[in-house]
């Protein structure tokens, strides 16, 4: 069921969005050659505890997960692009790292993701991150009252195709509110002008993710991490966005933190 939030409820979601943004900025600054993925997860865990927030991940066990997630952060490296389960791995020079984080503050959830290169970058990795960033921005621009849901999807998909990338439709954006995942599903491609009309109070996570040379994925032996079928690298960008009468409001905006 699609739920619409009142203006007061959207305002009440701001602290969660800001905190998620703060955590991602701290994680990006901490991600360096030699840093272990478990150290990043522990940093996020400490920040959650200090803030009095609640993790959306640690007990998360959807049908596609092998077991409860058990960590508070998704860390996807190189050919991993989504749901990366933190494990004993020290980041290496040139790694492409995606960080996905969601938590609740005062009962309201926010969800966001970034991709960064650790150490010396490859140009193709920077290009992939740039495409995912542009796709996110294009999707957000379409998150306006009177537009339709697939206007967001089409903007994301068009950006991918212009960069020569294909799009996987198995995982995409979603509703956000009292829980991390709700209706509607927001696919990363679609035909503009279709889907329900966007109304004030709809809060969604918009999250384009792309792989360099495929749209096929498989689940790692850990039961969670999603990897490219051909070993190519992936990038993932995400913001929680509220649709308001004044335009899209990016609740997880990192402005002033970077």
- The H-or-E segment that residue 138 falls in is helix 123-141
* Residue 42 is labelled as binding a ligand: no
Average pLDDT over residues 200-223: 97
Please check whether residue 20 lies inside any domain of the structure.
yes
Question: Does residue 112 form part of some domain?
Answer: yes
The position carrying tokens 């990795």 is 125
The answer to whether position 147 is within a domain reads yes
Q: Is residue 258 part of a domain?
A: no
The reported pLDDT for the residue numbered 62 is 87
CATH number at residue 221: 3.90.230.10
Using a 10 angstrom Cβ sphere, with 0-12 exposed, 13-18 middle and 19 or more buried, the burial of residue 15 is middle
Q: What is the pLDDT of residues 10-69, one digit of tens each?
A: 999 999 999 999 999 999 999 999 999 999 999 999 999 999 999 999 999 988 888 899
State which residues form the domain around 36.
7-250
Res 70 pLDDT > 90: yes
Q: Is the pTM of this model over 0.85?
A: yes
Does the annotation place 207 within a ligand binding site? yes
Domain count, the chain: 1
Cβ-contact 228, 211 below 8 angstroms: yes
- 3 annotated among ligand-binding-site residues: no
pLDDT computed for residue 257 by the predictor: 86
Q: Is residue 255 part of a domain?
A: no
Question: Is the omega angle on the peptide bond into residue 184 within 30 degrees of 0, that is, cis?
Answer: yes
Residue 125 labelled as part of a binding site: no
Residue 258 has pLDDT above 80, yes or no: no
Q: Maximum distance among all alpha carbons in the chain?
A: 48
158 is in an annotated binding site: no
Question: For residue range 85-117, what is the model confidence (pLDDT) as tens digits?
Answer: 999 999 999 999 999 999 999 999 999 999 999
- 111 annotated to a ligand binding site: yes
Annotated binding-site residue? 45: no
Q: What is the mean pLDDT of residues 181-193?
A: 97
| Average pLDDT of the residues of the chain | 97
Please indicate, yes or no, if residue 257 is contained in any of the structural domains: no
Residue 256 lies in a domain: no
Flag whether 2 is in a domain.
no
């Amino acid at each position: 069921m699609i739920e619409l939030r009142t203006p007061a409820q959207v305002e009440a979601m701001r602290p969660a969005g800001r905190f998620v943004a703060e955590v991602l900025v701290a994680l990006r600054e901490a991600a360096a050659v030699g840093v272990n993925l478990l150290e990043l997860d522990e940093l996020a865990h400490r920040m959650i505890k200090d803030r009095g927030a609640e993790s959306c991940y640690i007990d998360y066990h959807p049908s596609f997960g092998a077991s409860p997630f058990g960590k508070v952060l998704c860390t996807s490296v190189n050919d991993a692009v989504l749901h990366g389960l933190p494990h004993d791995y020290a980041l290496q020079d040139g790694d492409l790292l995606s960080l996905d984080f969601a938590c609740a503050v005062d009962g309201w959830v926010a969800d966001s993701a970034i991709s960064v290169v650790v150490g010396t970058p490859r140009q193709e990795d920077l290009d992939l991150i740039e495409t995912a960033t542009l796709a996110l921005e294009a999707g957000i621009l379409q998150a306006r009252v009177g537009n339709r849901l697939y206007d967001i999807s089409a903007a994301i998909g068009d950006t991918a195709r212009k960069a020569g990338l294909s799009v996987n439709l198995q995982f995409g954006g979603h509703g956000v509110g009292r829980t991390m995942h709700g209706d509607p599903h927001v696919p990363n491609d679609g035909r503009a002008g279709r889907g329900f009309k966007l109304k004030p109070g709809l809060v969604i996570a918009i999250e384009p993710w792309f792989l360099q040379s495929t749209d096929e994925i498989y689940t790692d032996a850990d039961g969670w991490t999603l990897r490219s079928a051909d070993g190519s690298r992936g990038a993932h960008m995400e913001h929680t966005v509220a649709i308001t009468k004044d335009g899209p409001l990016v609740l997880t905006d990192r402005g002033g933190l970077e």
